[in-house]
Amino acid sequence: QSALTQPPSASGSPGQSVTISCTGTSSDVGGYNYVSWYQHHPGKAPKLMIYEVSKRPSGVPDRFSGSKSGNTASLTVSGLQAEDEADYYCSSYAGSNNYVFGTGTKVTVL
């Protein structure tokens, strides 16, 4: 299984929105509604931000939203804040008890 494709970087000014794409295939992203997104500040534990394509765990701000169309999932961060600067990874169930992560996107708050 190949890693899901994400843009290496994305950026926005405080208060703006940024959207990160996550492209897979019909065998993973397109085949299941089990796409999740993780925020990773280097040196810390990754944090689950979105699960099941668009659901937010308790405590995650509603500035974070997820969606999916075909083989591509997206994470949108609205009202960017300085603390949102981090690496973001998508992940998908890939069938047959397999899981695949994305290549990662570094979000910079300008």
Partner 1 sequence: QVQLQESGPGLVKPSETLSLTCAVSGSSISSGYYWGWIRQPPGKGLEWIGNIYHSGSTQYNPSLKSRVSISVDTSKNQFSLKLSSVMAADTAVYYCARRGLASAFDIWGQGTMVTVSS
**Are the CB atoms for 32 and 99 separated by under 8 Å?**
no
Nearer to partner 1 by Cβ, of 78 and 93: the residue is 93
Q: How far is the CB of 46 from partner 1 (least distance, A)?
A: 5
> Measuring CA to CA, how many Å separate 80 from each of 27, 60, 92, 108?
32, 14, 25, 10
Among 3, 26, 61, 70, which residue sits at the site for partner 1 (rule: CB under 8 A)?
3
Nearer to partner 1, 6 or 71 (CB): 6
Binding residues among 26-85 for partner 1 as defined by CB under 8 A? 32-34, 36, 38, 40, 44-48, 51-52, 55, 57
Instruction: Measure the CA angle with vertex 76, ends 44 and 80; round to 5°.
Output: 70
Q: Which of 10, 19, 67, 101 binds partner 1 (CB under 8 A)?
A: 101
11, 16, 98, 108: which one contacts partner 1 (CB under 8 A)? 98
3-class DSSP assignment, residue 71: coil
* DSSP structure string for 13-56: -TT--EEEEEE--TTTTTT-S-EEEEEE-TTS--EEEEBTTTB-
- For binding to partner 1 (CB under 8 A), which residues are involved? 1, 3, 32-34, 36, 38, 40, 44-48, 51-52, 55, 57, 89, 91, 93, 97-104
